[in-house]
Structure 1
Amino acid sequence: MQAAAQRAGRAADSVRLVAVTKGVPEARIREAMALGVLDFGENRIQEALPKIAALGPGPRWHLVGHLQRNKVRRAVEGFALIHSLDSVLLAEAIARRAEAAGRRVEVLLQVNVAGEPRKHGFALEEVSEAVRRIAIMPALALRGLMTIAPLATDAQTARPIFRRLRELRDDLRAQWPGLDELSMGMSDDFEVAIEEGATLIRVGRAIFGERPLQPST
């Protein structure tokens, strides 16, 4: 992280590590906490909630996987930042639940920069209107944008994806100055993401190793 930030002429503390703990047991998370990691990401709410309860108030939990509307209540209760807001309808559902709970929930818009048909997220041409509608919801705090680059063997292929997201965020900030965060970069491409302006990187395998295979049912 520090080397990539240095190459980009950025301060190392301008990038925050979100350690993705999908499939990672509580004991390993405690080891990471002892080393100073306090931001953790989970893909699935049902896996996250027992960890959140067991590990107490210290960690800051990020929802980095797809959020279904029928699980909004638990997401609002458990997570400090939702990275994967991918529709206005979902935003409205989160806002209703947050308002009922007396909370203001921090969110990022997920953008499908590459236009991959199997991935969630707003298309590039939809983002401006989505920001206009979501930024005025009083129970939501829209903090920035998130993307997932296409899988590739060469991390450099992700560079134009990350650069386009940064350019989009910069354009939007002219009207919506609170859009500070760029969540982009995973185990294979986080250095490129940092060079292109990431403020949050979501790294699992590079920290905890390969996840164990789940038994078939």
Structure 2
Amino acid sequence: MYTLAVTRNRIEKNLKLIRQDIVAVAQRVGRDPAEVSIVAVTKAVDVDTIKNVLDAGLLDLGENRVGQLTSRVEDIDAYVKRRRNPLPGPVRWHMIGHLQRNKVRPTLACGATIHSVDSLRLAEEISQRARKAKLTVDIMLQVNCSQEQQKHGIAVGAGGHLAEMIAAMPNLRLIGLMTMGPTGADPQESRNSFSRLKFIFDEIKKAKIGGRAFRHLSMGMSGDYTIAVEQGATILRIGSALFA
């Protein structure tokens, strides 16, 4: 099922190039590069490659499917416990794909940050499950800034209203917004999409919704992460550029 195996050396080389890009763009637009973190999207690689990602110093791992997330968490937890040298910090899991309400419980069991909350009903389900489990769950509101029908996410105009409702739900911590760039887009289309999310983010921040926890923009993937950094991204979701 997982066809891609990538060495630690290759991951480290790619990671160095990605970080150089981040620094260059951030400096050009007057941002602190340290504000930008990378989530390694590991859906297409095997478990040994994920171990190499951790050994290369990347501790944020993202999965698109709940079943794969749960199995990976189990495998990596066992690996971390077996290591002679401890990692510099805990492994942080991110659910970045579409999440169905009937998959909320296993997702919460993984302790994952959920980037893809795309409806009020899903937020309510997460809140209810989290309350029963006595958890506080970090979530992001997914916005369909490219306005493509095949993409998940709330409408651009609904961002502020839904953010206010979700931020008030028990056992949820609204930490930011997420979007996916346009499919096959030219740079300007991607720029427009990310700019929309930044505008919504700023409006929510101005309204003091979510408090200090509301500080993240999860946007930018392998093909458009430099544009995302330019537009204010704090979390990049990178797969192929890391494993090429």
With the shorter chain as reference, the TM-score category is over 0.9
Compute the TM-score of the two structures, normalised by the length of structure 1: 0.93
Q: CA deviation at 1:164?
A: 1.2
Q: Residue 196 of structure 1 is aligned with which of 231, 236, 243?
A: 231
Q: What are structure 1's unaligned runs of at least 5 residues?
A: 210-217
The answer to whether the 8 Å contact 2:178/2:219 transfers is yes
Distance 1:92 1:153 in 2: 33
83-92 vs 118-127, which deviates more?
A: 118-127
Distance 2:144 2:24 in 1: 28
Aligned to 1:82: 114
Aligned to 1:95: 127
Across the aligned residues of Structure 1 and Structure 2, the Cα RMSD in angstroms comes to 1.2
The answer to whether the 8 Å contact 1:63/1:79 transfers is no
Residues 65-122 of structure 1 show CA distances to partners (whole Å, capped at 9, x for unaligned) of: 0000110001111143100000000000000111111100000000001211111111
Q: CA deviation at 1:50?
A: 1.4
Aligned with 2:115: secondary structure?
strand
Residues 37-58 of structure 1 show CA distances to partners (whole Å, capped at 9, x for unaligned) of: 0001000011111111111263
Aligned to 1:25: 46
1:206 counterpart = 2:241 = yes
Distance 1:156 1:71 in 2: 36
Aligned to 1:144: 176
Residues 5-51 of structure 1 show CA distances to partners (whole Å, capped at 9, x for unaligned) of: 22222122100100100021111111111111000100001111111
2:219 maps to amino acid: M
179-188 vs 2-11, which deviates more?
A: 2-11
The answer to whether the 8 Å contact 2:40/2:61 transfers is yes
**Following superposition, which runs of at least 4 residues in structure 1 exceed 3 angstroms of deviation?**
none
Length, aligned pairs only: 209
1:50 counterpart = 2:71 = yes
Distance 2:91 2:187 in 1: 29
Q: What are structure 2's unaligned runs of at least 5 residues?
A: 1-21, 81-89
Distance 2:33 2:55 in 1: 20
1:38 counterpart = 2:59 = yes
Q: Percent identity?
A: 43
Compute the TM-score of the two structures, normalised by the length of structure 2: 0.83
Aligned to 1:212: none
Q: CA deviation at 1:154?
A: 2.9
195-204 vs 157-166, which deviates more?
A: 157-166
Aligned to 1:184: 219
Q: Residue 163 of structure 1 is aligned with which of 179, 182, 195?
A: 195
Aligned to 2:19: none
Distance 2:241 2:186 in 1: 16
The answer to whether the 8 Å contact 2:190/2:224 transfers is yes
